[in-house]
C-alpha cells in the first residue's frame, strides 16, 4: 500500500498478504490504496465502489488473518470511497523504425514489446519472444512455436520480434507472413513457373515469422516446401518463430516436421486474468486519450473474458458510441451497449464440486479424497490441481477455497504455486490442464 513506510510495524503484515495473493494481484488492487491504521482499525481510501467491493469480497479475510497472525489483534476494516478525477497519461510512442534496406518485412510498427502487456498468462511467451529478438538463431530459442486460442496476442508478439530486430539491425531480412498467405503465394509461384524465385525469397531470410501455421498443415506440396525452407533456415542458424491456434502435437504434420517443431521451444499464451484485462484496457484508453474511468474499465474487464481482441473491441465500441453522442462513459451505458457480449453472473456457473468431479474422474480418485487427510501423491497431486483450478475458475477467496478442501489458505497457496510452476515448465502438462478445464466448462453447460 502506498504509505506503508509510515507504519514500519505493518511491513511484515503486508508482505505476508502479498505472498498469499501474488505480486500481480497485490500491485493491482492493494498497493495503490492509501490507508490509516490506529486503535485496531484499518481505514482504506478507495477510488470507487467497485474497487472496495473487490477487496471486501476477495481479500478481506486474508487482510484480517494477516493482522491477527503478526500483531495478534482482530482489526476492523473500514472501506471509504474517495472518488478521484481520472488522469490520462498518453503512452510515449516508440521511435519509428527507419528501414535502410529495400526488403519488405511486412511488419506492423504499432506492435512492439513496449506496448505488450506482460502478465502471468503470457510471461513465458513474452520472454521467449524477447530472447528470439536479441539472440537470433540461438539453439535454445529456435524454433519458437507460440500457441493459444485466437485473440490472445500471438500476432502482436510476432510483429514485436520483427520490429525489435529491425530496430537493432536495419539491414536484417525479416519477413512476417501468415500461413494462408504462404500457401497462396506458393500456388501462384507454381502457376507462374517462379518456384525458384519463391524459394530464394524465403531461404535467404534472417528471421522468418509465420502466423497461423495450421493453414499449411494438410496441404502436402506446401507442407513439403515449408519443411525444406524450415530446414535451410534452421541449419543456417536463422531465427524461426511460428504461431498456431493449437499445440505442436495437435498439428497434422508428418513425423519429420513434428520432430523439428518439438525440438524447439513451444510456449503457450493463456487467457488473461482480471487484473491483466484491466491493465490492457487502461493502456488502450491512455493511447487514445479518452476520458473513461477505471470503474468502467473494470466493469468491462469483468464482463469480457474471452480474448484480448474482443476486450479491446468492446472498449472501442463504447468510446465510439459515447464520442458520437458527446457523453461520458458510465457503467450503466456500458452495460446496455455491451449486453450481447458481457458475461453475466448467471454465466459464472463453475463451482468447486464440478471441479472436484472432473479432476476426480481424470485421476481416478473419490470425491471424499479431496477433503480427507490422506497425503499420498496419488491423492495430494489431484487435490492440488483442483485447488489451483478453483483459484482460476471461481471468485472464491483463498480462505474460502481452503474451507472447501478442509485446508487453510497457506496450503492452497502452496498447491497453487506447485501447479503453476509445472504449467510454466511442462507444455504437455499444460495441455492436460487445458483439457481438464474444457471438461469442467462442458459439465457446467449441461
Closest CA to 176 of 234, 239, 126, 237: 239
d(CA 383, CA 98): 54
Contact 292, 301 (CB under 8 A): no
Contact 387, 416 (CB under 8 A): yes
- With 0-12 / 13-18 / 19 or more C-beta atoms within 10 angstroms meaning exposed / middle / buried, residue 310 is middle
pLDDT at 348 exceeding the cut of 70? no
d(CA 422, CA 432): 11
Going by the DSSP 8-state scheme, the letter that residue 342 receives in this structure is P
pLDDT at 167 exceeding the cut of 50? yes
d(CA 429, CA 268): 12
End-to-end CA distance of the chain: 43
DSSP string, 73-134: ---EEEEEE--------PPPPPPPP---SS------TT--STTS---TTTHHHHHHHHHHHH
User: From 3.40.640.10, 2.130.10.30, 3.40.50.40, 1.10.1750.10, which CATH number describes the 349-445 domain?
Assistant: 1.10.1750.10
179 pLDDT tier (thresholds 50, 70, 90): confident
Q: What is the pLDDT of residue 25?
A: 77
Contact 276, 121 (CB under 8 A): yes
State the Rg of the chain over Cα: 25
pLDDT tens for 70-106 read 888 899 999 888 765 444 445 555 565 544 555 667 8
pLDDT at 397 exceeding the cut of 70? yes
Q: What is the pLDDT of residue 245?
A: 82
Domain range summary for the chain, segments of one domain joined by +: 4-81, 123-268, 274-341, 349-445
Cell numbers that stand for 59 in this block: 481479500
* Secondary structure of 258-294 as H, E, C letters: HHHHHCCEEEECCCCCHHHHHHHHHHHHHHHCCCCCH
Q: What is the pLDDT of residue 27?
A: 79
| CATH fold label, 4-81 | GMP Synthetase; Chain A, domain 3 (3.30.300)
The listed range with the strongest mean pLDDT (18-22, 138-142, 239-243) is 239-243
Contact 90, 68 (CB under 8 A): no
pLDDT at 261 exceeding the cut of 50? yes
pLDDT at 241 exceeding the cut of 90? yes
Q: What is the pLDDT of residue 163?
A: 93
CATH number of 274-341: 1.10.8.60
Rounded average pLDDT over 6-34: 83
d(CA 199, CA 194): 9
d(CA 137, CA 240): 8
pLDDT more than 90, % of the chain: 16
d(CA 440, CA 354): 6
> 123-268, superfamily in CATH?
P-loop containing nucleotide triphosphate hydrolases (3.40.50.300)
Considering only 85-94, 206-215, 284-293, which range has the smallest mean pLDDT? 85-94
Q: What is the pLDDT of residue 445?
A: 46
The answer to whether the predicted template modeling score (pTM) of the entire model surpasses 0.85 is: no
pLDDT more than 70, % of the chain: 92
Average pLDDT of the residues of the chain: 83
More confident residue, 445 or 144: 144
Cell numbers that stand for 45 in this block: 481510501
The percent of the chain in helix, strand and coil, each rounded to the nearest 5, is 60, 10, 35
Rounded average pLDDT over 35-40: 89
- With 0-12 / 13-18 / 19 or more C-beta atoms within 10 angstroms meaning exposed / middle / buried, residue 83 is exposed
- With 0-12 / 13-18 / 19 or more C-beta atoms within 10 angstroms meaning exposed / middle / buried, residue 6 is exposed
Amino acid at each position: 500500500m502506498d504509505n506503508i513506510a509510515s507504519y514500519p510495524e505493518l511491513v511484515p503484515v503486508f508482505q505476508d498478504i502479498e505472498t498469499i495473493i501474488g505480486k500481480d494481484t497485490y500491485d493491482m488492487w492493494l498497493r495503490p490504496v492509501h490507508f490509516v491504521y490506529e486503535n485496531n482499525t484499518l481505514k482504506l481510501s478507495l477510488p470507487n465502489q467497485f474497487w472496495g467491493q473487490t477487496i471486501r469480497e476477495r481479500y478481506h479475510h486474508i487482510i484480517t488473518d494477516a493482522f491477527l497472525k503478526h500483531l495478534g489483534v482482530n482489526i476492523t476494516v473500514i472501506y471509504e470511497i474517495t472518488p478521484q478525477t481520472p488522469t490520462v497519461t498518453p503512452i510515449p510512442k516508440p521511435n519509428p523504425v527507419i528501414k535502410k534496406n529495400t526488403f519488405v518485412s511486412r511488419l506492423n510498427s504499432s506492435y512492439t514489446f513496449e506496448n505488450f502487456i506482460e502478465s502471468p498468462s503470457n510471461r513465458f511467451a513474452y520472454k521467449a519472444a524477447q530472447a528470439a529478438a536479441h539472440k537470433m538463431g540461438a539453439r535454445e530459442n529456435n524454433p519458437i512455436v507460440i500457441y493459444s486460442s485466437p485473440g490472445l496476442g500471438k500476432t502482436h508478439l510476432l510483429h514485436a520480434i520483427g520490429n525489435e530486430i529491425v530496430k537493432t539491425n536495419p539491414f536484417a531480412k525479416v519477413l512476417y507472413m501468415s500461413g494462408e498467405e504462404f500457401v497462396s503465394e506458393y500456388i501462384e509461384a507454381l502457376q507462374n513457373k517462379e518456384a525458384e524465385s519463391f524459394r530464394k525469397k524465403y531461404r535467404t531470410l534472417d528471421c522468418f515469422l509465420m502466423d497461423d501455421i495450421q493453414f499449411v498443415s494438410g496441404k502436402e506440396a506446401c507442407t513439403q516446401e515449408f519443411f525444406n525452407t524450415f530446414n535451410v533456415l534452421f541449419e543456417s542458424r536463422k531465427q524461426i518463430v511460428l504461431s498456431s491456434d493449437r499445440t505442436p502435437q495437435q498439428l497434422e504434420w508428418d513425423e519429420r516436421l513434428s520432430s523439428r517443431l518439438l525440438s524447439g521451444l513451444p510456449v503457450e499464451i493463456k487467457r488473461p486474468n482480471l487484473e491483466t484485462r484491466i491493465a490492457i484496457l487502461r493502456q488502450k484508453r491512455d493511447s487514445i486519450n479518452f476520458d473513461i474511468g477505471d470503474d468502467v474499465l473494470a466493469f468491462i474487464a469483468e464482463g469480457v473474458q474471452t480474448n484480448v481482441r474482443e476486450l479491446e473491441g468492446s472498449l472501442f465500441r463504447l468510446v465510439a458510441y459515447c464520442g458520437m453522442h458527446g457523453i461520458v462513459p458510465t457503467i450503466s451505458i456500458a452495460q446496455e451497449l455491451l449486453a450481447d457480449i458481457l458475461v453475466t453472473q448467471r454465466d459464472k456457473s463453475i463451482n468447486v464440486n464440478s471441479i472436484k468431479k472432473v479432476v476426480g474422474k481424470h485421476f481416478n480418485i473419490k470425491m471424499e479424497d479431496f477433503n480427507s487427510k490422506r497425503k499420498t501423491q496419488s491423492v495430494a497431486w489431484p487435490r492440488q490441481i483442483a485447488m489451483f483450478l478453483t483459484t482460476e475458475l471461481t471468485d472464491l477467496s483463498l480462505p474460502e477455497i481452503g474451507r472447501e478442501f478442509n485446508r487453510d489458505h497457506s496450503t492452497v497457496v502452496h498447491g497453487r504455486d506447485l501447479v503453476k510452476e509445472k504449467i510454466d515448465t511442462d507444455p504437455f502438462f499444460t495441455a492436460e490442464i487445458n483439457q481438464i478445464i474444457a471438461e469442467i466448462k462442458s459439465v457446467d453447460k449441461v
